Copies of this chain bind each other. A is one copy, B any other.
Amino acid sequence: MSAINYLFLGSSNTLGEFRADVNADWFGAVASALSGGIGSLLIAGVWMLIFPDLRRIDRFDPADRKPVEASMHVLITGAAGMIGRKLTTRLAIDRALGNQPIDKLTLIDLCVPERPPGFSNHVKIRAVDLSVPGAAEKAVAERPDVIFHLAGVVSGEAETDFEKGYRVNLDGTRALLETVRAIVDYKPKFVFTSSIAVFGAPFPETIRDDFHLTPLTSYGTQKAMSELMLADYTRRGFLEGVGVRLPTICVRPGKPNKAASGFFSGIIREPLAGQEATLPVADSVMHWHASPRAAVGFLIHATGLSRAQLGDGINLTMPGVCCTVGEQIAALKRIAGDKVVARIRREPNALVERIVAGWPRRFDASRALALGFTVEASFDEIIRAHIEDELDGKIV
């Protein structure tokens, strides 16, 4: 087809050149260039009169500029969760992912997610349980270009409700992967939120990307299994997966929760809001943090990575801020002063101390950093991000 096309394109140019040469020979170069220019304008003018519709097109709309296949449709599972809501808000503000405008957002969760304010393009919100047969098919039926798979049962619940953990965290993920695989000629970007819980103690001082997967929780097991499956589906070419192992998200907005890790956020969030916070562990406890804002940044950055950049190691430990509880408190003091820090009450709890002792503290995220993922440079920045994003810049 292109050969035949070229035949016409090529000969029309050659005929044109022949005509121009003949003109130039008969009337001279200047007269023929002038008459050719005037002739072209006249033809354009006549065309404007004959086809008024064409005249009214003064620019291409974004929707027109790209073919239908390239229109960006983004699906977010677990969209009602904390990270899901922040990612939705960010995408609704950016109206784009990388350089491509977003035309459509599909937001699903167990309960109907909120509609992002100020996003005029098409938004679909749905209550979907991905572990129910047929649900994944419906969620993916419109072939979203990018899938952010954030849905999952949290660590504590996966440990207390064994069956639910496997059903949601493993079967839900697998259902989504299988549905994508079943659709012919469909290969979306698939960003999966994994966790540093895929790693298990005993830990070396610094944990590399290739540290063994020996999770010591059911949650970590389910995340590790999903990572493995995502890597296999990516290797086989069914989708383009990236597993994003999030650090502990700090400062989590909202109310205090009963998670053993809750105090990492609590000792910053409550004092800044004028309330007292309990610190159940020693100041020397060290941990690995990133702000909600940084977490959203990780997910968005992951969509821009090519298969060639990622290679086989598609599951990546994200960068974080490693600091002790004492350093967290010192940062709070620098930013908000003694009055705020005085709202932290030390109340040692042996159980929490013991749980936290089994957690990883520091990672070598050099691979993710080399791939362009970025995080706050200090815990001070994490606190400032919280004050800006959650408190409108105000401290009580």
Contacts and interface: CB of A to CB of B under 8 A. Distances in A.
A77 interface: no
Chain multiplicity (copies): 2
A-B interface, 8 closest residue pairs, ranked by CB to CB distance from nearest: A210-B212, A221-B232, A225-B225, A221-B228, A213-B213, A224-B228, A225-B228, A218-B232
Contacts of A228: 213, 215, 221, 224-225, 228
A24 interface: no
Nearest to A201: B312
A132 interface: no
Given A228-B224, A229-B225, A235 B216 contact: yes
A276 interface: no
Interface residues of A, number: 22
Interface string A302-341: 0000000000110000000000000000000000000000
Contacts of A221: 228-229, 231-232
A221 B228 CA distance: 6
A65 B211 CA distance: 49
Given A162-B236, A236-B162, A312-B200, A214 B210 contact: yes
Interface string A208-251: 01111111101001001100110110011000000000000000
A209 B202 CA distance: 13
Contacts of A312: 200, 214, 216
A218 B231 contact: no
Listed residue (A210, A218, A232, A235) with the most chain B CB atoms within 10 angstroms of its CB = A232
Contacts of A313: 214
Contact of A212 (B209, B216, B235, B236): B209
Listed residue (A214, A215, A235, A236) with the most chain B CB atoms within 10 angstroms of its CB = A214
8 contacts: A210-B212, A210-B214, A211-B212, A213-B228, A214-B312, A221-B229, A225-B225, A225-B229
